[in-house]
Amino acid sequence: MTTADALRTRVRDLLAAHPPATTGRTAFLQARFDAGLAWVHYPEGLGGLGAPRSLQAAVDAELAAAGAPDNDPRRIGIGLGMAAPTILAHGTAEQKQRFLRPLWTGEEVWCQLFSEPGAGSDLAALGTRAVLDEAAGEWIVDGQKVWTSSAHTARWGILLARTDPGLPKHRGISFFVCDMHAPGVEVRPLRQITGEAEFNEVFLTGVRIPDAHRIGDAGQGWEVARTTLMNERVSIGGMRIPREGGMIGRLAEAWRERPDRRTHAHHQRLLGLWVEAEVARLAAERLRQQLAAGQPGPEGSGMKLTFARLNQEISGLEVEFLGEDGLSYGDWEMTRPDTVDFTGRDAGYRYLRAKGNSIEGGTSEILLNIVAERVLGLPAEPRDDKDVPWKDLAR
């Protein structure tokens, strides 16, 4: 069994063979992946050693102390948090070998082609169509996706498309890897209330995807997508942050710097939110410990719910506390950022950006249903479309 001491020895061997000061960033990350130190809980040959997930912290600490570069996880969060665990769980050996290494090193950015204008909260109602060209061994895809983060920088996209409209909506879907540089893929920016366009809409017109880029069996895409969605909610709601990190840290900083704005009412609300943020942080740590022992469950939906609510309440109090200064907005020029910093820029930006937290990664309303049914065991909402062929549903 791999131990923390054995991993530290392996890290020292990596640093000796590839000194960070004289090794290029990409070359170092590739060597780290090949040494099994990328994500230690992954199998050998795929960036890991089959070690307990909890030992990753020891590896990261040793490398950070040596000044080694990281893989800029915020820039490639969709690949790390959603695409990689899905490929690991459902992909073929060839797919794992092809995609995981450049995904982890950041050489290839990923996006998620799930939501559509008519299929957001009810994702299984999606209408993007994929038809198999058997002679060519390719799927021809036509449709539209929306709210696609990082589509403007992505090399690959994980794609849900309908392959059998004669089946009920959950059973006629397949899961693909789409080349974002393929003919017929068009990415258009969606400008947000913040002024930037981190989201996009993606139009797919006659896009050809090799059958070798299908993840899982044809028609089993919903089962594959559930792996993606559960990991997505954990990656959003269960991020590792230090005590008084994240949004509550910015509010606490404003409180300390502006004694002239303090009131008893603000103080009481700040204390309440600080405690809630700390409870959420510790709960997220516990969730990551559960992940180390298995796959994410519906608990991630609860964490993502809490993340959205707290961010909105904290940013709202920050704007209120700062008064007229909280209404200032530094820059509303249209930009297409490579990364998203929920706590970055000024209070006005944080307040506006937090509004999206209850939509992205699953709307809060849908997540409440998941928690009610799969965590609390409450009766499911009545559904009259589960056994109706998708082609017969009203749209």
Domain boundaries defined on the chain: 1-70, 225-375
pLDDT tens track for 338-364: 887 778 789 999 999 999 888 887 788
pLDDT of 376: 85
Q: Which of 62, 196, 232, 299 is catalytic?
A: 232
pLDDT exceeds cutoff 60 at 295? no
pLDDT tens track for 99-146: 999 999 999 999 999 999 988 778 999 999 999 999 999 999 999 999
Q: Give dist(CA 312, CA 342) in Å, integer.
A: 11
232 is catalytic: yes
Indicate the range of 157-161, 197-201, 285-289, 375-379 predicted with least confidence: 285-289
**DSSP strand pairing (138-145 vs 199-210):** antiparallel
Q: Is the model more confident about 148 or about 285? A: 148
Helix (H) or strand (E) holding 189: strand 185-190
State the average pLDDT for the chain.
Answer: 91
Amino acid in position 161: A
For domain 225-375, which CATH number applies: 3.40.50.300, 1.10.1740.10, 1.20.140.10, 3.10.50.30? 1.20.140.10
Q: Once rounded to an integer, what is the mean pLDDT over residues 150-169? A: 97
Vertex 166: Cα angle to 165 and 171 (nearest 5): 75
Q: Is the model more confident about 291 or about 173? A: 173
